[in-house]
């Protein structure tokens, strides 16, 4: 299992620690013939880059991706694409004092229990920097999916108690590219301005109180054809759940109406089917675009709950490696909220999952095989 | 990917349709030397058996498991355990009228889009009967885990708007075996009597209105040692999320405080560590027993949201295979709620996930290898 | 790993022991829409059935395959196909005396070392009966491949020192179906009559001497398009090597000129390319149809060396479970040679391997994805 | 499948092309706590480094490995180890003339058929340089296995018609470390001097004739405990066969007596068991240390046939991309034989395979789980 590899057909393997030489990813199984440049990757990495606003860590990293293999004359060759980002601005000495204690809300204690010791510098492998590899790979997956008419709209739905008011359906009244532009125009990646300002005010209070906040990320995928996803264990929603839950701070995942389904009734929750412009379609989308683990053709809608950043400057009780109760205050450069920077990570994981299942789907019927091999 | 196989070390493959000759599972990678009888399996199957109360389908199935291989003289041999349950009481003719139309909330349409046609009898492969294989395998996993001091407490937290009032921590004031007895003593598998009665009244109303209900299942796992789970993609919570989300009607999954983390703050949400009886422990358990994807040693707590049964007797709008809008009323024997019968499925999937990662953990340190191979 | 599952897209899981209730296989990932009956499977099973001639075990088994799932109205549904053969004529008491000792050339000792004990009846899981599941699955794979113009010619090349004289190329002067007919017309499955008679005489001598013999199986696959196989670890020849070597008694595997390449030179061993009827083709086929792990379009040719049956009636030295040196003479019903019955097992494993990589190939280029998803 | 990843527990992913920025490997699942330095890796890479003698390509590469992650304070952390070797001395212009034609014996044609085009510089991904990643990972696997008392002796058995005369058993009369020293003392990595000189003379003739040669590599693994390997598809010998066959020029693989078993008889080929110094042991080792896919405790012995280097300077017939018959003479720096440099690649692949199955074995019995989790 090992655990640093994700996907079956479009398979990624990430590596690297916060304060090592760098972080990277190997993407294996990328179809040959895709135009790909380092700029394609960079656009995605920039969405998670630190230091963009006062609400993200002031660590200065260019986070510049280098393509080391798998691209020839501007096109993917079908062989592994190795991508690397060098670490630069790491202040390892900042972490000297936490080497011997367990920060609450972090993986310090669990890593020690698992491996006997840990690379404590900046969280080592459990650092958010590990997600750079995911985002670099996600950029490739999204580019491939776009060429098949699939679009992603990913944003911050809420921060603390502040939430946007539009439903996904309401947001979709505008074209995906338009919504994306709105989202990227503000540092919290919210698609509505009013809650965005409220959230900023809330975050400033958090920071004054040496505290941190969490929030909810929502992702809408449009253009997915019906039929994607495997019916039993590799359901599209099950694989999305795993993909998104594998992101460090995620504590909840739901699809369509999610937890509110539990208090609904069958007659309200079922989405009626109807013919519309000669095509089978759904009157509502409580299901979030997936039935029986397989895409319906309606937009796929899911949400992830992200916990407040565990690194806070206020005093906390904890223990050290020698089993002594101590008090700890975490200094250094930390995001008061990681939700905005995690938006692109969620989108990336969703794209990797979807593409993998779309590749699987190509062999699902005898007629597909016969067509393919008769050409 | 194929999709009917789950797990890496303790690997299960389910097969079978609602109205075929039977359903079954092959369990590969079960350690040799476990005492195992058909009764061990049966106890678990009985918890999901239909016809137990008026709130579950009146389909009469013995659901008797037969062990076909992998057990010799009462012990597992280390080779695949093949388990089968024959289908008996299937009224395929009940389904004649739905062969040509798409039931709302079901996988009829998506299966047709995926495969070009489907075994429409009783939902075919997308029927809840597929979970028999999961539960049979889960019974084995739970038995193994019990021998390592691990206990499962799984129950219905809410049905519709009716919820139990105790927190998992409050429930855990009693020993797991005691709570389990309480839960199994009522048809809704709720650990508190008052909400159980309210929920029964609510369900009766639902049935009168030809409607159905959903609910929330909660699972607590105690005795899990710290250190289980892989740090990146195969996080314990990510694999649990996938495992639980692969169950048909699940629409949401959360761990620990889950979605409510999103509106908390770091200072409230972080669980302080402290020394207690000479052992590192956590003052609170907002994290639900997992940090950085690895178990902390505290109880693992998660919840799954289950949608209302999509099969309802009241009239619904839908389309048929020829692209015609029609009205449909679903007859036959259907659960007004599937939550109680799904409790053991959730527990089974959790056990399979946990055991798989516990097997993985055995090779995580050089000292473990040296100890093992020096013996 | 677990080890009873083979394949990624077209994935099979076998189960069962020689003297348990039966043996079987679950085939997951079979494309939907293939016509499939139990007769399709039976034709293949009959090629490995015991009791066909005096050169195979006199155990009487119908070896009748039952399809338990995955086929609806005569067609595969895309969901798992569960196949089972019940064990009938097992004389478990024959094995009482070997329960406590280790037969030379068998897996008795290694199973005990691995699992602590074993199902000793008839070899348990290490029995040749395990291959029934492979052959049943292979029958499906071959049927699919035939519909894409791919043919298998598999036969006994040699038994003991007796070998056929024709090269694969010479055999291919006749159409595959014709050669297949010849091969199946004699109990040793040799494509030439003269060596077949010599081999029968040799085997009779072996039997008189209470001894056994080995041989070489050759397999030719025609009609495979160029481009199948993954360039690094999942090379077509590497996966074939594993597939064939996973059959019990195989001790060697070679492709094309195989071991004789080692004493050839580059100028002789390289296959020149040339245009022939407007198509790129190869003047010779020393490579056996694979270059760099990828099919060339030329016939794929490989051989497997099969050791003599380890069960012999003459006296052998060995040890028992209590660590005592003993003498052993194996009674019961045993094949003096397993080569002929293994021919169809080799073919089946080759078909499973090839089909799996052909499914993988469908996602190898952006143009394939775009074509597939624009339809 | 994708194909650039090998292993389940100890999982490696290689990347890189001959003339790209570099080649590398990510090793995931390495146990924590292993002392590891770049020198450990370098020792192995030096055994396959070009330019060591006149019998290997004169391409000058330092082939210096850099550890990019997964090691902290001199020890592996349990997280992925990323290793990279930069490409330096690549003369891409040498390859201009072969960009548009298909070299016989190379993967040029098959890559084009698979992907539509290829990185033609130096063979791109199908270059022998890909094996650098395997050897770097193999160095780690061998180091781990050594700490469990397992030794590898790998060497050239034959070149062209020249073969060493000692059997593996005879070689093993000296301790592994001594044999290894002998082997590394000559450029052909043969353990006997006389055939080594003959082989050198033969190779000089080959070079004068602008031709190339092949040979056989043999590998002996001592100290492997009984019980390693999974009984059905993941047999130790099956996985070794795949591992070794996935190396570019390998055309044959055999274990123990291999192909010569086919003409032996059961009474000669079976290895008798006997008690020796109170331990079960085998009188002979025709089986090569594996029965039923599981190690017996005797030395594991296998051989791989390597074809002659396909790049030869003499004139060859082939076709170009436009479908025109042409004549081709390959210039540039090429090995007249690749066998000696491939020895360490074979050893590396064997070590990776063995370690992976040894990790799997740790969860094979209930008593192992109980022991591990009671500590």
Is the pLDDT at B102 greater than 80? The verdict is: yes
- Is residue A361 within 8 Å of C371, Cβ to Cβ? no
User: What pLDDT is attached to residue A371?
Assistant: 94
- What residues of D are in contact with residue C130 (Cβ under 8 Å)? 232
H helix or E strand, kind and range, residue C67:
strand C65-67
Verify whether the Cβ–Cβ distance D81 to A24 is below 8 Å.
no
pLDDT in tens, C322-337: 999 999 998 876 789 9
- Is residue D17 within 8 Å of D131, Cβ to Cβ? no
- Nearest one of C149, C155, C79, C139 to C352, comparing CA atoms: C139
Verify whether the Cβ–Cβ distance B14 to C80 is below 8 Å.
yes
pLDDT in tens, A141-197: 999 999 999 999 999 999 999 999 999 999 999 988 889 888 999 999 999 999 999
User: What pLDDT is attached to residue C89?
Assistant: 66
Tokens of C298: 């030329």
Tell me the backbone φ, ψ of residue A297, rounded to 5 degrees: 100, -20
User: What pLDDT is attached to residue B94?
Assistant: 61
User: What pLDDT is attached to residue D11?
Assistant: 97
Query: Cα torsion at C101, C103, C108, C112 (round to 10°)?
Result: 40
Mean pLDDT rounded to a whole number for chain D = 94
User: What pLDDT is attached to residue D93?
Assistant: 63
- Is residue D70 within 8 Å of A19, Cβ to Cβ? no
Is the pLDDT at C95 greater than 70? The verdict is: no
3-class DSSP state of B157: strand
Cα separation, B192 vs B167, whole angstroms: 11
Which residues make Cβ contacts (< 8 Å) with residue C371, sequence separation at least 6? none
The pLDDT > 70 percentage for chain A reads 95
3-class DSSP state of C200: helix
pLDDT band at B83 (very low <50, low <70, confident <90, very high): very high
User: What pLDDT is attached to residue B89?
Assistant: 66
- Nearest one of B341, B146, B178, B162 to B249, comparing CA atoms: B341
What are the distances in angstroms from CA A298 to CA A228, A358, B112, C370? 12, 16, 15, 20
pLDDT band at B98 (very low <50, low <70, confident <90, very high): confident
Mean pLDDT rounded to a whole number for chain C = 94
User: What pLDDT is attached to residue A91?
Assistant: 61
Q: What is the mean pLDDT of residues A119-143?
A: 94
Verify whether the Cβ–Cβ distance A363 to C359 is below 8 Å.
yes
Verify whether the Cβ–Cβ distance B26 to C29 is below 8 Å.
no
Verify whether the Cβ–Cβ distance D319 to C253 is below 8 Å.
no
- Nearest one of A161, A132, A157, A179 to A339, comparing CA atoms: A157
Cα separation, A226 vs A235, whole angstroms: 13
In chain A, residues 75-94 whose CB comes closer than 8 Å to chain C: 76, 78-79
Instruction: Write b or e for each residue in D116-142: b if 16 or more Cβ atoms lie within 10 A of its Cβ, otherwise e.
Output: bbbbbbbbbbbbbbbbbbbbbbbbbbb
Cα separation, B158 vs B306, whole angstroms: 10
- Is residue B266 within 8 Å of A213, Cβ to Cβ? yes
Residue position matching structure tokens 């149809």: C289
Tokens of B290: 């997992």
User: What pLDDT is attached to residue D117?
Assistant: 93
Tell me the backbone φ, ψ of residue A81, rounded to 5 degrees: -100, 115
Which residues make Cβ contacts (< 8 Å) with residue C66, sequence separation at least 6? B21, C38, C83, C84, C85, C86
User: What pLDDT is attached to residue A45?
Assistant: 96
User: What pLDDT is attached to residue A176?
Assistant: 84
pLDDT in tens, A80-95: 999 999 998 666 566 6
pLDDT band at C53 (very low <50, low <70, confident <90, very high): confident
Strands D215-222 and D162-163: unpaired
- What residues of D are in contact with residue B144 (Cβ under 8 Å)? 366, 369
Could you say which DSSP state residue D122 is in?
Answer: G
Could you say which DSSP state residue C166 is in?
Answer: -
| Lowest-confidence region among A354-363, C93-102, D323-332 | C93-102
Is the pLDDT at B206 greater than 70? The verdict is: yes
Tokens of C22: 């039966």
- A86 exposure class (CB count in 10 Å sphere: 0-12, 13-18, 19+): middle
List, in sequence order, the alpha helices (H) in C3-49: 38-48
- What residues of D are in contact with residue C309 (Cβ under 8 Å)? 266
User: What pLDDT is attached to residue C90?
Assistant: 62
- Nearest one of B64, B361, B82, B101 to B231, comparing CA atoms: B361
Cα separation, D351 vs C262, whole angstroms: 23
The pLDDT > 90 percentage for chain A reads 85
Using the Cβ of C114 and the Cβ atoms of chain D, whether some distance falls under 8 Å is answered with yes
- Is residue A131 within 8 Å of A161, Cβ to Cβ? no
pLDDT in tens, C339-349: 999 999 999 99
Cα separation, D363 vs D360, whole angstroms: 6
Is the pLDDT at B9 greater than 70? The verdict is: yes
Residue B297 to chain D, least CA–CA distance (Å): 13
- Is residue B367 within 8 Å of D75, Cβ to Cβ? no
The pLDDT > 70 percentage for chain B reads 95
Verify whether the Cβ–Cβ distance D280 to C319 is below 8 Å.
yes
Verify whether the Cβ–Cβ distance D116 to A77 is below 8 Å.
no
| Lowest-confidence region among A61-70, C12-21, C79-88 | A61-70
The Cβ-side half-sphere exposure at C249, using a 13 Å CA radius, reads 34
Instruction: Write b or e for each residue in C45-70: b if 16 or more Cβ atoms lie within 10 A of its Cβ, otherwise e.
Output: bebbbbeeeebbbebebebebebbbb
Q: Locate the chain C residue with the closest alpha carbon to D244.
A: C238
- C96 exposure class (CB count in 10 Å sphere: 0-12, 13-18, 19+): exposed
- Nearest one of A266, B166, B316, A363 to C148, comparing CA atoms: A363
What are the distances in angstroms from CA D79 to CA A10, A244, B131, D71, D72? 22, 20, 35, 8, 10
Q: How many CB atoms lie within 10 A of CB A39?
A: 9
What are the distances in angstroms from CA B365 to CA A113, B219, D10, D359? 11, 30, 12, 11
Cα separation, A49 vs A63, whole angstroms: 7
User: What pLDDT is attached to residue D92?
Assistant: 58
Verify whether the Cβ–Cβ distance B147 to D231 is below 8 Å.
no
Mean pLDDT rounded to a whole number for chain A = 94
- Nearest one of A149, A134, A179 to A6, comparing CA atoms: A134
Q: Report, in angstroms and rounded to the nearest whole number, the Rg of chain A calculated over CA atoms.
A: 21
In chain C, residues 141-160 whose CB comes closer than 8 Å to chain A: 144, 147-149
Could you say which DSSP state residue B149 is in?
Answer: T
pLDDT in tens, D220-279: 999 999 999 999 999 999 999 999 999 999 999 999 999 999 999 999 999 999 999 999
The Cβ-side half-sphere exposure at A296, using a 13 Å CA radius, reads 31
User: What pLDDT is attached to residue C61?
Assistant: 67
Tell me the backbone φ, ψ of residue A295, rounded to 5 degrees: -65, 145
pLDDT band at B151 (very low <50, low <70, confident <90, very high): very high
pLDDT band at B56 (very low <50, low <70, confident <90, very high): confident
Cα separation, D69 vs D80, whole angstroms: 7
Q: Higher pLDDT residue, B226 or A57?
A: B226
List, in sequence order, the alpha helices (H) in chain B: 38-48, 108-115, 131-146, 168-171, 176-184, 193-208, 236-245, 266-269, 339-361, 366-374
Instruction: Nearest by CB to D28, from A13, A20, A70: name it.
Output: A13
User: What pLDDT is attached to residue B371?
Assistant: 94
pLDDT in tens, D137-184: 999 999 999 999 999 999 999 999 999 999 999 999 998 888 988 899
pLDDT band at B53 (very low <50, low <70, confident <90, very high): confident
Tokens of C174: 């006749």
pLDDT in tens, B291-348: 999 999 999 999 999 999 999 999 999 999 999 999 999 887 678 999 999 999 999 9
Cα separation, D78 vs D31, whole angstroms: 5
| Lowest-confidence region among A175-179, A330-334, C153-157 | A330-334
| Chain C touching partners, 3 or more CB pairs below 8 A | A, B, D
The angle at the Cα of D282, spanning D279 to D285, to the nearest 5 degrees, equals 145
Q: Locate the chain B residue with the closest alpha carbon to D232.
A: B79
- Nearest one of B234, B258, C8 to A243, comparing CA atoms: B234
List, in sequence order, the alpha helices (H) in chain C: 38-48, 108-115, 131-146, 168-171, 176-184, 193-208, 236-245, 266-269, 339-361, 366-374
User: What pLDDT is attached to residue A98?
Assistant: 82
User: What pLDDT is attached to residue C54?
Assistant: 76
Mean pLDDT rounded to a whole number for chain B = 94
């Amino acid at each position: 299992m090992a655990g640093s590899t994700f996907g079956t057909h479009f398979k990624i393997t990430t590596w690297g620690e916060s304060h090592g030489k760098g972080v990277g990813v190997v993407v294996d199984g990328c179809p040959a013939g895709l135009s790909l440049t380092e700029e394609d990757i960079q656009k995605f990495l920039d969405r998670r880059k630190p230091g963009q606003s006062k609400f993200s860590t002031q660590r200065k990293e260019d986070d510049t991706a280098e393509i080391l293999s798998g691209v020839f004359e501007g096109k993917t060759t079908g062989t592994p694409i190795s991508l690397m980002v060098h670490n630069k601005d790491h202040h390892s000495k900042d972490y000297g004092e936490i080497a011997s204690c367990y920060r609450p809300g972090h993986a310090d204690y669990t890593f020690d229990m698992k491996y006997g010791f840990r690379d404590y510098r900046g969280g080592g492998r459990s650092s958010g920097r590990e997600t750079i590899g995911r985002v670099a790979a996600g950029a490739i997956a999204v580019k491939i999916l776009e060429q098949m008419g699939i679009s992603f709209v990913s944003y911050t739905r809420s921060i603390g108690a502040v939430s946007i008011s539009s439903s996904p359906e309401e947001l979709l009244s505008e074209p995906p590219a338009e919504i994306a532009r709105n989202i990227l125009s503000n540092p919290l990646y919210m698609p509505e301005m009013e809650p965005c300002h409220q959230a900023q005010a809330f975050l400033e209070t958090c920071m004054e109180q040496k505290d941190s906040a969490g929030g909810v990320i929502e992702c809408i995928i449009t253009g997915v054809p019906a039929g994607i996803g495997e019916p039993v264990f590799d359901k599209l929603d099950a694989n999305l759940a795993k993909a998104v839950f594998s992101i460090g701070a995620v504590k909840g995942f739901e699809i369509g109406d999610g937890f509110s389904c539990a208090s609904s009734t069958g007659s309200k929750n079922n989405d009626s089917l109807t013919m519309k412009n000669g095509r089978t379609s759904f009157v509502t989308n409580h299901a979030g675009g997936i039935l029986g683990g397989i895409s319906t053709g309606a937009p796929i809608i899911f949400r992830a709950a992200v916990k407040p950043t565990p690194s806070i400057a206020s005093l906390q009780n904890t223990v050290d490696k020698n089993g002594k109760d101590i008090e700890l205050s975490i200094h250094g450069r930390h995001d008061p909220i990681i939700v905005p920077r995690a938006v692109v990570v969620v989108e990336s994981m969703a794209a990797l999952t979807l593409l993998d299942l779309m590749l699987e789907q190509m062999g699902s019927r005898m007629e597909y095989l016969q067509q393919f091999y008769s050409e």
